Amino acid sequence: MASPDSTGDREKVVSKLPGWLRQDLKVRTAQLGVEIQTAVEQGINDWCDLASAPTAVDTSGADPFSTWLPPGQWELFRTTAADRRVSLIQGLAQAVQLWLQKNPAPAVKRPEHPRRVIVCNQKGGVGKTAVAAGTGEAMAEDPNTLYPVRVSKHFAALLEGQDHGSAADPIGIGELPGLGLRVLLVDFDPQCHLTQQLGHKPLPMDGDSLTKHMAGEPVGELRDLIVPIEEDRFGDRLHLLPSCNDAFLLDVKLAGVRAREAALERALAPIEPLFDVILVDCPPSLGLSMDAAVYYGRRRDNEPSGSSGALTVVQAEDSSADAYTLLTTQIEDLRHDLAIEIDYLGIVVNHYDARRGFIATSSLQAWMDIKDPRVVGVIGDLKEQKEAVRVKRPLLAYAPKSDQAVAMRALAREIS
């Protein structure tokens, strides 16, 4: 059935598609950045141009499906289907399947060199660990599955093949494929929060550790310490380098190490080729270990700006602003002293709750007023993150549709 569109350039078409085929269509159009209505239009054109109908598609359990097509195309399709003695539902399914075959899923875009993101702030308790974990989880989700992401309502409408949304209310929830990147989360904090929150135990003090590799005292290969985060949605793409309490001694050990600023880079260099993104959950410190982390996140030769760098996590309150000033001072000193380029990837305002009144809202506005680096994410102070920590599961596996998970996916795309 077809009815005129109010704009006069397309008509609404109502038919049926089996659920699995409709889902494949949604995923593929999202992967390719194509409107659903455009994909269906192209599929019908190609199907009508065939000499005969292709192999039948299983349409059992087909559900209502609607989209918008150019005027007259549906009537041509109906005539062609009648000539081929196939039902409109079967013909539409064949047309969609044909489009899917002609437009395969794109390969995951992998960076030429592994991106290095240091998640930092010298103030404790701002949620660096939660942001590091959530961002890494979002980067590693399945590229052939759709997940809710905070996007513009215009884009969300296009993903659904609907009208063009409202510019007056620009933020909505759309569904996008996972990024499918190979991610390593590095727990660089001696408190081991990231390690424990993801369900693993800290490395034993009498064994091998990242600290020992940085201090030039390795016991074995660093790659042997890496453990997978075993959740189906991440496949084999999300891994963790656990921490060890010996990291409390790292600043003392680094004091006697040659070129100590490069100690973290030397330690991680052998495993970099295994990953697309390495996120380092930094300690709340301004010591030598933080110098090593900042140096690791510097822009390397031939690396595009904004690929690697510092992601700063703050809260909407005054003490975070004081800590931010101390951190940026340290980064700028290193930039000047070592003649290196360090990119600021952005500011994440975490644990935000507007119900806290003027202090929260005015602080958020103050962060928003900083244009370089800009705010790239605002994460609400909600219960799902605390629950995920309690049960020792990744947030995006425990509560994949929660507001925090949706915001983490948006953040991952902002800095990708």
The count of other CB atoms within 10 Å of the CB of residue 374 is: 14
Distance (Å, rounded) from C-alpha 4 to C-alpha 71? 8
- Residue ranges for the chain with pLDDT beneath 50: 6-7, 153-170
Q: Which pLDDT score is estimated for 371?
A: 86
Q: Which pLDDT score is estimated for 161?
A: 46
Whether residue 388 contacts residue 398, with contact meaning beta carbons closer than 8 Å, is answered with yes
Q: Which pLDDT score is estimated for 4?
A: 55
Q: Which pLDDT score is estimated for 163?
A: 43
* Cα 233 versus chain centre, distance: 13
Q: Which pLDDT score is estimated for 256?
A: 86
Query: For the whole prediction, is pTM greater than 0.95?
Result: no
Whether residue 134 contacts residue 281, with contact meaning beta carbons closer than 8 Å, is answered with no
Distance (Å, rounded) from C-alpha 120 to C-alpha 394? 20
Q: Which pLDDT score is estimated for 109?
A: 87
Distance (Å, rounded) from C-alpha 68 to C-alpha 47? 17
Q: pLDDT tens digit string along 210-255?
A: 999 999 999 999 999 999 999 999 999 999 999 999 888 898 989 8
Q: Which pLDDT score is estimated for 44?
A: 97
Work out the burial of residue 92: count CB atoms within 10 Å of its CB; fewer than 13 is exposed, 13-18 middle, 19 or more buried. buried
* Cα 59 versus chain centre, distance: 34
